[in-house]
Structure 1
Amino acid sequence: MEPVSAVGVAAAALQFLDFGSRLLSTSRQIYRSPSGRTARQVTLSTITNDLAHILAHVEQATASITPTSLAYHQLVSLSTECKDLIAPLNDALAALGKDGDSVFMYDEGKRVKEKSVLKTLRSALEAIWNQAEIEETIAKLRDMERRVTTAVIFAIWDGTRQSEERQIQFSRQLDEMTTLLLPTDPESIEADDVLPGDPQPLATAVQPEIVTTAIFNRVVDTLNDKTLPESLEIYNELVGCLWSRKQLPTPPEWISSNSSRVFFAEPEAMRRLFTFTILNSLAFETMEFRQEAIPEAFQRTFTWIFKGGANLPSFSEWLETEVKKPYWITGKPGSGKSTLMSYIIHHQSLLKHLHVWARGLPLIIARYYAWISGAHLQKSREGLMRTILHQVLSEENSLIPCVAPRRWALFSTLRAAVEAPPWSTWEVQESFDALLSECDKSFRLAVFIDGLDEFDLLPVDVIELIQHINARDGIKICVAGRPWMEFNDAFRGNPMLLMQDLNMVDITHIVKTKLEENIGFSELQNLFPTEAAHLIDEVARKSNGVILWVGLVVKSLLVALSEGDGLAELQVIIDGLPSRLSDLYDAIWASISPTNVTKSAEMLAIFEASQRPLDCLTLWIADGKLPLSFNILSTPLSQKGNPGVIDIMRRRLDSRTRGILEISSSSGTVDFLHRSASDWASKPEVWERISRSICHRFDPNLSLAKAEALKVPLATWEEIRNGGDSDPVRRCLWYASQVVDTGENRILLTRTLDKFDENVANMWTGLIRGEHWSSRSEACTNTFLGLAARFHILPYLREKLAWDPKLISRKTPKKRISLLENAVFDSLGYVNERRVTIDAEQRLSTIAFLLEHGANPREKTTEGLSVLETVRKKAEMRGAAGSGPDENWIMGNWTEVETMMLAAGGEGSIKKLFGFFSRS
């Protein structure tokens, strides 16, 4: 059966069922015949004739086709069931007809004077049927409507299987079906349909868009109901078609037409929803963090950038002209490159100059601040592309269908902003290239990229990315970074500036302004103006153009001034401070008092162990050594923003780290003062010096796991249920997996994780009853101990099994994931993403421990095979393409795991097992 035949059968059946449901309705709606003619008064004979007519239409449509597939056979079968379903109603109408041709009123608001006129057909039927029989009939009609709608949608989809652009053909057939279900043109209403005395024609009271919306919503709801196997199959096959890399899909035409009758009342509302959903999918949590962390330019600094000068290639001229070479801003670490870039982007002169270059085309400015201390998307090629895509498409929504055609086609075909596949690297690149190809056609693009040295890429790859973008017409790029040899070579001959050669006047101004704001210095300056001016010049000279150095030194001078030091003592401080930034960090660390150095080192250790970004509330709890009984909801900490904690932690970081760690004023996250501070702390000799100050019993990962356990009551329902980057479960269990296994840690970690399980369970049971929260994203059930095995938290497993050894040998219920299955396979990719990694040795140790304590490798997994059989299959397929994410950690080790299991299953298994494991 062709799709058009399926549409005809379904339209006839749905009209028939809709007509029957309306007859039995309690509401006094205007009567509408199957042809679309409307009336406020109708006779019983008219109703009977209309019902017979539409039933004949169903039989005719069904008889004219031959089922060619299971989907079409099901549709035809459902259509023939309609006749049997409506038989009781036919019998009831015949019984009513014995007393003559009654007149029924379908006019809400009209007063009925004629005795022969009844309110509705339902009121008449209540004399023959009881209310339960009527409601049951209505329920059957509605259920049949749902089943027919499902069947026709699937039949149409099945009939488009051979189409090259399947979603286009499918979309057109859906439009045709919806069109056939609409009422006929109101102009066809006859004169006798209008009651005498009506002030306006009946046609004006009919609202076709209401009917259209109801039908549209019914089709859309059915199409996107993932509980229906047919709808789920359509979704999966459609995603498979649209995400095929062989060709780009064409979005269906209906979304482009505002006049389409088969759409619904507000096409622009759906367009806005699609746009919002795609933009939201491109965004990531930390997208603006780096920009927010960059300090604002000090007052009246960097004004030279738009003025030019003898030592500065005119930046304004570069902005206005067709010069194709990127502008290169470079300089020493801490010389103010990022601050200057932020100053440029937010300066009003930028738009004025770039509009000259745009030549009348719309102008869009995009920016990306790479950050080596940030998350993956803050320092990667993918992160840059997604950020620019988000910024440009937010400005030019009309580009989204051609830049993200797969997602737009999916939403358009399904008439809803459904869940789309996650953005893969190749799709991001595809969309990014599509965006670049639009430059100079519909808009011009200025791109500002800061921190070339902060990408988690080789310099040659960063340069290739810049060149790839710059190769397109209608694009202007300004980049900033450290003067690494690769960058200097790549941008040799480009317009450029060297920060330390241009910022001396700014530095002098900063030093003078900050010192003169101090009352103590102003008093000294009044007494010794020459000496004070010399001190200012000396600080500026010794800075060598590094603004960051100036900030740290001035802070030390202000502390000395608050203690009453004079100009001579200030000069001694300046003379004793090294001019190299890394040496200055050494001096700052050495200046921390002995009573604070242990706490300072622990705070740095917590920060280094954390998953970035680290919010100040987590650091406050981890550093504060709060008891596990602490109830965070009973404190003001439950309020959004935690301003009190931010103030406390800002003072604490200032006193303990002397500004090496600081809090971003906008996001409330903790980070190093500057990339140079991170570089300093990561030096082996520096970290060894810091680590010597830490008590051997202190474990930063245990402190962080405890902080996550205590913070659970502040988590949202979405974070607990759906996971993602802000998933407290993933964070807490990963920290727990990194805890060093000592006797003391084992006890503390067990209490911490039990508290975490308790806190999550308290939230979960209030929302979903009868299921443990550890099964939140599983197709099968799980346990918290199972999650601990999945994250290979050996101290916790050892402690729990020491208390109850039977936990591992207890028979696992069907469809529950065993401890061994959790440890060997990671079906949800919990511990294989970039931010959560556990080394193979720890995983193998966990498997060995479970086998030693009685885990049965021959026990069935949730997929039906035993753990051993599944491992053996993977060993045979070792290295094969298409391996899932759960196999990444152990690729190449499946054979070893199989050997461990075979050793554990035989005589002398424990000896064999640990003999094997020691050899491995």
Structure 2
Amino acid sequence: MESLVALGLASNVIQFVDFASKLISTAHTLYVSSTGSTAENAELEVLATHIRALADSFCPHAAVATSNAISNTTRGNAPAPKPDALHDLASQCRHVADQLLALLASFTVQGRHRTWKSMRTALRASHRSAEMDSILARLDRISSQMAMHVVFGGLKDIAGQMEVLRTENKRLGATRNNDINQLEKAVRTMLSRLSEVRADPSTAPQSQREALVPFSATAAKVLQYSHEQQILRGLYFEGMDDRRKPGSGKSTLMKYLCNHPMLAHNLKAWAGARQLFIAKYFFWNLGKDILHKSQIGLLRALLYQILRLHPDLLRVAFPSSRDDGGLPGTGDVTDSADPLSIEGLLSAFKRIKTGLFTSQIRLFFIIDGLDEYHGKPIDIIRLLEILQDSPHIKVCISSRPWNEFENAFGRRESRRIYMERLTRSDIENYVRDTFDGDPSYRELRDDDDGICDELVGEIVNEAKGVFLWVRLVVQSLLEGITNEDRMVDLRRRLRSLPADLEEYFRRIVFTVDPFYRQQTAHFFRVTIEASVTLPLIMYWFMDQEDPVQYAVKLDVSPLIMQATNRNLKQARKRLNACCKGILEVQYYDSDEAAENSLSSSVLFNWKVDFLHRTARDFLLTENMSNQLVEWTAGGCDPHASICAAIICLAKVAPQEEEYFVPGGPVTKLRDPFIVHCNLLGCEDMSRFGVWPPPGALEKIIDAQRRRCGMVVEMDDSRMGVKKFPAFMGKDFFQKVWQFW
């Protein structure tokens, strides 16, 4: 941060010299001053005192610098700056400021007979004008040297880090790429100009200062874009864009609307000449993060999507974070002053909403799954009423037909849709197409087409619009067809299946081979307790006889592709045998496009989750929870298994830098590892042989980084490596505005 303090010192010295150079004292002005000195001199004294304090804070030992060292460098033949040149300049600045303060004190008119004394003071000032000129000239040289030294170094740092700014802009999906390119050109132009000025020793201080003038605007732009990125990072959370799993009919419809080109086309009739922005949010009860099902998550997701596409609104949404240095994400989210609290986010949204009346923007929000909100319905209803209370905002929402939501949003028939009234033909088509794809069914149909039609009709009638029930029933009937069930057997099988999903899940769980029940219950409990959706490969590690001991003894060595594929295949088959489809394996595209192209992305992107949230809800009922605990008696604790599997995955990950950089696939496991370590008992923790357990993963990650040849300094916020210039560190945003 010394470069930042030096930059502030240089800026204040420049202001100081500019003001002092205008000083022309007269006896009359001295007389009318209430303090005994001119108003200009009084202000000059305050500024000189401030400069001296800045110099002391920058270089604590500046006050004891030798007078010889000072005089040798302030007679007009100052040497080129060395590594400690800024400290020397600060020392010089303090000394010259002391001289000027002493000189100003001699100009002060004190006591009675002020008219006579003011004349004597004016005469004294006239005699000492040469001394004043000398001091001002020395300050002029110091300020120019300091400014050139600091600004040139700062610009070199900025130029070297523009690619970081550009990469982060792309990662966040922001629209500042052209602006960043223009900024880079401006920085390089300034560097070229300053190099010419520094190379010419005959350049006057005034000319040097003129060459530095564009720096303020350039630095402000760098600050602005970096600050915008920090706000967007604070708003973002993983999985905010979509729930990523096939949902019920309403969720499928909402996703279809989001991606359909006609949506924006039709909304243009409403937006007119204004720019249209579409943002979406899917409440997700199965989400491991509370943000997936909270008001804060909703507001953060909507604000993120709006602000990354329209960054000029960032200053409107978060004015205080620019004015006083506060940054979203730096405070406790429970603090009402924190921009990421519900109050702070709502205030940001209200400011945007007010700004829409004077901007050329209209907003359309798609919000799915109000029934999956984690809280009282009235709370989310009130929030939505605030969001949509503007002629420039429209909202499309979906929910189960709860009374609270129907009363608030569904009173007008023309503005609501009941999915079960529209999906009958879709369900019938799904059943027919699925059956017709099976050769054995086609043989049955050829024998008696009428009975097959009756079977399909019976399924459609019993479905009551519930696609999940239809899917499970069709799956069961296809198993019967594979076993050469006759049509009469299929109809009897259909009528024996529970019409209620909970009963259906119960039947599935209790028909699992008793030999597998301990593993079945363990897999269910792990998936319920997991703080994030876990990769399939972790289930292979958790299926070992003793997952913790396996993790401790496992060598740190990359898993070859053949072994990876074999283990994934085994884990998939084990899940099918033990869980009978209640747990599903799906490929999850990463939020980072670069992660999807990693050589072993299959290690992290094939993940396991529940078939549907209703399956999880069923397993969380009191009776089933007790049953799962009973079946896993004597087995490994779910949290211990998860910690062990994370350690295993960190050990076998490819030894490539991309996996271990901040935000990489392995380092993302740090937070869930700590969460589950904290949920372990002391007995389980001691089995890792490391205290505290979180240190186990850190040691592995550090070892892997060394193998990759990495030297990475993690910052406290875990937002990534801070690659901005030295004077743009964590505190920069909080201090810089006092200097510009």
The Cα offsets for residues 693-742 of structure 1, whole Å up to 9 and x where unpaired, read as 3333442222223223333445736479x9998425523422423x7x5x
Residues 1:752 and 1:735: Cα distance change in structure 2 (over 3 Å): farther
The answer to whether residue 371 in structure 2 is matched with residue 453 in structure 1 is: yes
Q: Which moved more, 1:365-374 or 1:607-616?
A: 607-616
Confirm or deny: 8 A CA contact 1:616 1:663 kept in the other structure: yes
The Cα offsets for residues 756-804 of structure 1, whole Å up to 9 and x where unpaired, read as 7455335447889xxxxxx9999xxxxxxxxxxxxxxxxxxxxxxxxxx
Confirm or deny: 8 A CA contact 1:589 1:657 kept in the other structure: yes
Number of the residue aligned with 2:311:
397
Aligned partner (choices 390, 414, 434) of residue 351 of structure 2: 434
Confirm or deny: 8 A CA contact 2:420 2:465 kept in the other structure: yes
Confirm or deny: 8 A CA contact 2:329 2:340 kept in the other structure: no
Aligned partner (choices 396, 408, 423) of residue 478 of structure 1: 396
The answer to whether residue 267 in structure 2 is matched with residue 354 in structure 1 is: yes
Aligned partner (choices 246, 249, 252) of residue 294 of structure 1: 246
Query: What one-letter code is carried by the residue in structure 2 that aligns with 1:734?
Result: N
Number of the residue aligned with 1:329:
none
CA distance in 1, matches of 2:444, 2:688: 60
Aligned residue for 1:337, secondary structure, equals: helix
Percent identity, aligned pairs only, is 21
Aligned residue for 1:483, secondary structure, equals: coil
The answer to whether residue 574 in structure 2 is matched with residue 660 in structure 1 is: no
Confirm or deny: 8 A CA contact 1:444 1:475 kept in the other structure: yes
Number of the residue aligned with 2:731:
none
CA distance in 1, matches of 2:266, 2:644: 53
Number of the residue aligned with 1:733:
677
Q: How far has the Cα of 1:285 moved from its partner?
A: 1.9
Q: How far has the Cα of 1:438 moved from its partner?
A: 2.9
Aligned partner (choices 410, 421, 433) of residue 513 of structure 1: 433
Number of the residue aligned with 2:293:
379
Confirm or deny: 8 A CA contact 1:13 1:79 kept in the other structure: no
Query: What one-letter code is carried by the residue in structure 2 that aligns with 1:658?
Result: K
CA distance in 2, matches of 1:400, 1:466: 22
Number of the residue aligned with 2:215:
262
Aligned partner (choices 524, 544, 547) of residue 604 of structure 1: 524
> Counterparts in 2 of 1:138-537, with a 5 A limit?
138-145=82-89, 214=152, 217=155, 261-263=214-216, 271-288=224-241, 290=243, 292-294=244-246, 334=248, 336-374=249-287, 375-409=289-323, 421=331, 423-425=339-341, 426-440=343-357, 441-494=359-412, 495-537=415-457
Confirm or deny: 8 A CA contact 1:601 1:694 kept in the other structure: yes
Confirm or deny: 8 A CA contact 1:67 1:73 kept in the other structure: no
The Cα offsets for residues 344-391 of structure 1, whole Å up to 9 and x where unpaired, read as 111122112111111221111111111122211111111100000001
Aligned partner (choices 10, 14, 25) of residue 13 of structure 2: 10
CA distance in 2, matches of 1:443, 1:65: 48
Confirm or deny: 8 A CA contact 1:403 1:435 kept in the other structure: yes
Number of the residue aligned with 2:699:
761
Confirm or deny: 8 A CA contact 1:709 1:732 kept in the other structure: no
CA distance in 1, matches of 2:241, 2:94: 44
> Counterparts in 2 of 1:748-827, with a 5 A limit?
749-751=687-689, 757-758=695-696, 760-761=698-699, 763-764=701-702
CA distance in 1, matches of 2:232, 2:431: 44
Aligned residue for 1:663, secondary structure, equals: strand
CA distance in 2, matches of 1:506, 1:219: 60
Residues 1:211 and 1:146: Cα distance change in structure 2 (over 3 Å): closer
The Cα offsets for residues 106-155 of structure 1, whole Å up to 9 and x where unpaired, read as xxxxxxxxxxxxxxx9xxxxxxxxxxxx99x8344344247789999xxx
Residues 1:579 and 1:147: Cα distance change in structure 2 (over 3 Å): farther
Confirm or deny: 8 A CA contact 1:363 1:445 kept in the other structure: yes
Root-mean-square deviation (Å)? 4.7
Number of the residue aligned with 1:630:
554
* Number of matched pairs: 548
Higher helix share: 2
Confirm or deny: 8 A CA contact 2:283 2:372 kept in the other structure: yes
Aligned residue for 1:448, secondary structure, equals: strand
Residues 1:8 and 1:729: Cα distance change in structure 2 (over 3 Å): closer
Query: What one-letter code is carried by the residue in structure 2 that aligns with 1:518?
Result: D
CA distance in 2, matches of 1:90, 1:148: 8
CA distance in 2, matches of 1:428, 1:365: 19
> Counterparts in 2 of 1:678-689, with a 5 A limit?
678-689=616-627
The Cα offsets for residues 172-206 of structure 1, whole Å up to 9 and x where unpaired, read as xxxxx9999679xxxxxxxxxxxxxxxxxxxxxxx
Aligned residue for 1:634, secondary structure, equals: coil
Aligned residue for 2:417, secondary structure, equals: strand
Unaligned runs of 5+ in 2: 1-7, 19-39, 57-61, 97-138, 160-182, 191-212, 333-338, 590-605, 654-658, 707-712, 717-740
Number of the residue aligned with 2:656:
none
Aligned residue for 1:447, secondary structure, equals: strand
The Cα offsets for residues 156-179 of structure 1, whole Å up to 9 and x where unpaired, read as xxxxxxxxxxxxxxxxxxxxx999
Number of the residue aligned with 1:85:
69
Confirm or deny: 8 A CA contact 1:216 1:263 kept in the other structure: no
Higher relative contact order (CA 8 A, sep 6+): 2
Residues 1:410 and 1:293: Cα distance change in structure 2 (over 3 Å): farther
Query: What one-letter code is carried by the residue in structure 1 that aligns with 2:68?
Result: D
Confirm or deny: 8 A CA contact 1:212 1:262 kept in the other structure: no
Query: What one-letter code is carried by the residue in structure 2 that aligns with 1:401?
Result: R
Aligned residue for 1:532, secondary structure, equals: helix
CA distance in 1, matches of 2:407, 2:445: 47
Residues 1:690 and 1:337: Cα distance change in structure 2 (over 3 Å): same
Query: What one-letter code is carried by the residue in structure 2 that aligns with 1:509?
Result: N
Query: What one-letter code is carried by the residue in structure 2 that aligns with 1:284?
Result: F
Question: TM-score w.r.t. structure 2 length?
Answer: 0.63
Query: What one-letter code is carried by the residue in structure 1 that aligns with 2:581?
Result: G
The Cα offsets for residues 223-248 of structure 1, whole Å up to 9 and x where unpaired, read as xxxxxxxxxxxxxxxxxxxxxxxxxx
Q: How far has the Cα of 1:510 moved from its partner?
A: 0.6
CA distance in 1, matches of 2:63, 2:257: 68
Query: What one-letter code is carried by the residue in structure 1 that aligns with 2:320?
Result: R
Confirm or deny: 8 A CA contact 1:216 1:264 kept in the other structure: no
Aligned partner (choices 20, 44, 52) of residue 73 of structure 1: 52
Residues 1:712 and 1:724: Cα distance change in structure 2 (over 3 Å): closer
Number of the residue aligned with 1:586:
506
Residues 1:72 and 1:265: Cα distance change in structure 2 (over 3 Å): closer
Q: How far has the Cα of 1:62 moved from its partner?
A: 12
Aligned residue for 2:473, secondary structure, equals: helix
The answer to whether residue 505 in structure 2 is matched with residue 548 in structure 1 is: no
Query: What one-letter code is carried by the residue in structure 2 that aligns with 1:607?
Result: T
Residues 1:493 and 1:754: Cα distance change in structure 2 (over 3 Å): closer
Confirm or deny: 8 A CA contact 1:539 1:550 kept in the other structure: yes
Aligned residue for 2:216, secondary structure, equals: coil
Q: How far has the Cα of 1:488 moved from its partner?
A: 2.2
CA distance in 2, matches of 1:179, 1:357: 62
Confirm or deny: 8 A CA contact 2:646 2:669 kept in the other structure: no
Query: What one-letter code is carried by the residue in structure 1 that aligns with 2:587?
Result: S
Confirm or deny: 8 A CA contact 2:582 2:615 kept in the other structure: yes
The answer to whether residue 644 in structure 2 is matched with residue 706 in structure 1 is: yes
Query: What one-letter code is carried by the residue in structure 2 that aligns with 1:665?
Result: Y
CA distance in 2, matches of 1:445, 1:573: 51
Confirm or deny: 8 A CA contact 1:616 1:645 kept in the other structure: no
Question: TM-score w.r.t. structure 1 length?
Answer: 0.52
Confirm or deny: 8 A CA contact 1:9 1:76 kept in the other structure: no
CA distance in 2, matches of 1:564, 1:534: 19
